[in-house]
Structure 1
């Protein structure tokens, strides 16, 4: 079976090296923007400021050979299977990020609050986070 992933955009971030990146978005990640490629602009039509999004990225600098690691690079931690961690190093380095939209421009630029990825990281997909009310 053969599959292809189409990147729909890329991240513009002040983070330029892996050493600059916090481990999680709630650990001091900076604001960034998502540049949506022209052929996918129709797909962001209803994204508005204040919207919560689930952003999927392709962590292209990751080591795709890693199957075991020490979580959070802690030398005292036991070796752990990569699928039990949030490490970017894994066979398919898909990043999952919860972000809030700050602004959306007509040219397809979406300003978001903190995200812990490098500048130029490819965007795989965007999903709206729906908040359903449960009636009693």
Structure 2
């Protein structure tokens, strides 16, 4: 089996007063010309779930109310995975090139979480006009923006 080395490029700041990506100094030049984009594809490491137990989960009891009772891990967005890699689409509020700080509207990544990569969100590559989802999640919001007002507690088992 091949082994791969992944090195963080920065960390998440999510401390109740600030939500941001803090890039390591050697990667700050990579922010050049990012300032015209409104959103990022934020790729981060589920560091809180990086252990043998979490990495061995292949199926799980579903966290969703109307879904099948047991689901394969790749049909969920659960943090337990063979490789604890996460992807979030985040809104950029501001970028400070000198400090390597990208202030975000929100992220679900915890404070101190390692950031692996950033990619600009571009509708021509990242937006699907008519995506299909299973029947059990068809009532979920159709956009990131609508998700803010949605009662997510009504669709989860916890």
Range into which the TM-score falls when normalised by the shorter chain: 0.7 to 0.9
Q: CA RMSD in A?
A: 2.1
Of residues 77, 81, 89 in structure 2, which corresponds to 1:90? 81
TM score, norm. by length of structure 2 = 0.67
Partner SS, residue 57 of structure 2: coil
Taking structure 1 as reference, are residues 95 and 45 closer, same or farther at Cα in structure 2, changes over 3 Å only? same
Identify the structure with bigger relative contact order (alpha carbons < 8 Å, sequence gap 6+): 1
Of residues 117, 125, 129 in structure 2, which corresponds to 1:125? 117
1:60 aligns with 2:47: yes
Worse-superposed segment, 123-132 or 93-102: 123-132
Question: Is the CA contact 1:58–1:93 (under 8 Å) kept in the aligned structure 2?
Answer: yes
**Structure 1 residue runs of 4 or more that deviate by more than 6 Å after TM superposition:** none
- What whole-Å deviation, never above 9, does each CA across 1:37-87 have from its counterpart, x for those lacking one? 01111111112265211000000111222111123276x951111011111
Question: How many residue pairs are counted as aligned between the two chains?
Answer: 117
Shift of 1:5: 0.4
Partner SS, residue 7 of structure 2: coil
Partner SS, residue 109 of structure 2: coil
TM score, norm. by length of structure 1 = 0.77
Tell me which residue corresponds to 2:72. 81
C-alpha distance in structure 1 between counterparts of 2:37 and 2:91, whole Å: 6
Unaligned runs of 5+ in 1: 16-29
C-alpha distance in structure 2 between counterparts of 1:129 and 1:100, whole Å: 9
Tell me which residue corresponds to 1:9. 10
Of residues 22, 40, 48 in structure 1, which corresponds to 2:27? 40
